[in-house]
Every structure is written in C-alpha cells, then in structure tokens.
Amino acid sequence: MEPKSKTLTDNLPLNSYCDLLYYQLNEKWILVPEWVKFFLKLGTHLSMFDFGDLHYRIALALPCRRFASSLVTSGITCGRSAITIKESDHEYYQKIISLAEGTPLIYRHGKRKKNALKRENISYQGNIHIGVQVDEGAKTTIFVAPWDVRRIEVSKKFCRGLPNQQKGREIPPPSKLLENIVGETHVYDYIFQTRLDFIVVGSKSLLREEYFQNFNLRISKDSESEGNLVDLSRIQDFQSPGNAYRGVIFQATSNDNSSLKNETPPFVVVFDGANGFIKWKDSFRNSNWIILLDRTDLNFDSAVTYVNQEHLMRSEKTPKLIIPNLPPSVEAMFFTAGI
C-alpha cells in the first residue's frame, strides 16, 4: 500500500536549505551539524505521509533528547506549509455566515487583529456579506465580503464586550528565515491561519530555550535570513495572545487533559521523553506518533517495553516509509496502527 504523499525529494520545504543553515553560538554563526539536518528532514518527510485509515508510529532511541522535538516539529510545519486547510473557502464561508449573533470572533485588518462579535448578515449586490462588530457602540459593524472570509476566525475566548475605537493587536511580520523557507506564496497564510499540525508532549521549560535558538539561512554571500524555531514551528505557547499557531505543548506532568477536548486531533503527536509517552499515549490514538526516547532517561526501558507492546498490536499493512539516513547511535522502529 503506497502512501498518499508528495514525492519525497530534497526539494521539499526546508530540506533543500539544510546545507545552508547556520546556528548561533557565542555570537558566532556555525554550520549546523548532520544530526540537526536529520531531525529537520525527518519532520519534513513525515509531514507528507497520509495512510488513509492507518496512523504511523515511529520510535527513535536517542543518545540525547536535546533539540530533537523542536527540530522535528519545525520540519513538520514547514513540510505542511503548502497543504491547504481542509475546509474550502466556500465551506468556511458557509460556517461563518451561519454562526449565531454574538459569537466571539477575531477579525484581521491589514497587519492588525481585532476582537469582534458576529452580527446580522446583509445581502449586497447578490452576495451575503458577514456582519462583524469591531467596536462598542452604534455603526461599528463592518460587512465582510465572501472573498475576504479568511480574515475572520472564531475566537476561543469569551467576549464580555468590545472597547471603543479598538486599535487591535499588530501582527509581527514573518522572519526572513521563515519567508525564504516557506516562500512568499504561503508565508502569510502560515502566520495568519491557525491549524493544529502537531502537539508536543513534554516539558515547556526545557523546550522554551530550544525553540528560541537562532538560525541563519545563507543562500548567498550577500544574503542572510535570520530567525528561530518558533518562527518555523508557530508553536502557540511562545506566540503573542491571539496570533495564529500550528502547534502546542502539552505538559507531560499534567493530570488533566481537558485543555485538549476542544482541539481537533493533530496530524502528529511528538512524545518528548519516556514519561509523557507512558502517561499520555492512550489520549492520542487518533494521530500519528513520533516517540523520542533519551537513552539516559530513567524510564527509557519501561517506555521501550510499551513501544514493543504497541508493535505487537500493529496493523498487518506495512506501507513503505522513506526517512533520512539515521545518525550514529540512533535507532528507529516504524509500524502502523489502525484507527
């Protein structure tokens, strides 16, 4: 059974730039080592696989977990950057016009986002325009044309009221690193539209430093493009409130998964460490898995036992999976599971 995917070549987003990528250390720029390229490429490759009624499971035994999750998830989001959002513009438009009056919204105008409320729609020149109130008081409702519907998002926050003469939140422009890797065609959709590509089950405090690691893409001698892994991964936990995101961190030590109940199952869940995998694997069975296990972890052997149990229950279907060559001291196991 062949996966429904793009042809896996070095021309995928990010992969073709790995040899031109530098990281910052003590104010110096150093060419990234091969193991960094491996994790970026692994995420990009795995972002392309859709096995229909199967989910993939890939487990890696690592000499050290540091940067593995942040690099893999950056590869995943960059790889999926050219994939359109599942809802067509027409489907999205129908969903927004049917919202009840008073539904909290976020409205994007230029480079700013404003809190808003859904109001009555009107018919204008043969099209239904969507009523969006952006300020408190009379005559503050604007009417959004069908072709601008992507400027509207449903807010997850309860709105008690709107301020007068709301300026809104300025949306930071994309970094040059992100713009060059994703491309001008997709970069603004990338930073404006929310889609849950991944969840990392791990430690936010450990991951924070890794996601803010600075990188520089040197396409030519006269061209430098700086940014960090937050730019590439669009992880919600490190974005300003209200900004679009593509991934979230779920604390492995949490005892409550209620924060996940309103989220659509992500394309992939990355288990950053043994404890998160052992504790939370049953909560994410409707997603693909990347299991990253540090050999120095006290619970490494227990996690391997659970991976082996999952392998025993694997699907008999064995799709072909192509991944980059493994670095020294890294072992991998791949299988699939039915929904």
Can you list the domains of the chain with their CATH numbers?
15-85+173-338 (no CATH), 89-161 (2.30.30)
- Quick: pLDDT tens for 122-136: 988 888 999 988 876
Q: Can you tell me the mean pLDDT for 195-218?
A: 93
Q: Is the pLDDT of residue 44 over 60?
A: yes
Cα–Cα separations (whole angstroms), residue 281 to 107, 138, 273: 36, 51, 12
Predicted pLDDT at 3:
41
The whole-number pLDDT of residue 17 equals: 85
For 41, half-sphere exposure in the C-beta direction (CA atoms, 13 angstrom radius) is 23
* 147 pLDDT tier (thresholds 50, 70, 90): confident
14 closest CA partner among 49, 35, 39: 39
Q: What angle do CA 49, 206, 156 make, to 5 degrees?
A: 65
Residue written as token pair 């491996």: 38
Residue 2 is predicted with a pLDDT of 42
CA distance 314 to 20: 39
| CA distances from residue 91 to 17, 86, 106 in whole angstroms, order as listed | 35, 9, 18
What is the chain's mean pLDDT, rounded?
Answer: 85
Confidence (pLDDT) at 50: 79
Compute the distance between CA of residue 65 and CA of residue 296 in angstroms, rounded to an integer: 9
Measured on CA atoms in the order 75, 76, 77, 80, is the torsion positive or negative? Answer: positive
What confidence tens digit (pLDDT) does each residue in 175-190 have?
899 988 888 767 777 8
Whether pLDDT at 5 is above 60: no
What's the mean pLDDT in 145-173? Answer: 75
Question: What pTM value is reported for the model?
Answer: 0.78
**pLDDT in the model for residue 134:** 85
Q: Pick the range with the lowest mean pLDDT from 128-132, 216-220, 288-292.
A: 216-220
Cβ–Cβ < 8 Å for 227, 214: yes
Contacts of 28 (CB under 8 A, 6+ apart): none
> How many other C-beta atoms can be found within 10 angstroms of the C-beta atom of residue 204?
16
pLDDT at residue 108, rounded to an integer? 81
Amino acid at site 231:
D
User: Any idea which of 30-34, 173-177, 251-255, 297-301 has the lowest mean pLDDT?
Assistant: 173-177
Q: What is the pLDDT of residue 261?
A: 67
- Helices 204-211 and 68-79 sit at what angle, rounded to 10 degrees? 60
Between 11 and 192, residue with greater pLDDT: 192
What pLDDT score was predicted for residue 159? 67
* Size of the chain in residues: 339
| Residue 98 contacts residue 109 (beta carbons within 8 Å) | no
pLDDT digits (tens, 9 = 90+) for 70-92: 999 999 998 888 676 655 677 88
> What pLDDT is attached to residue 199?
96
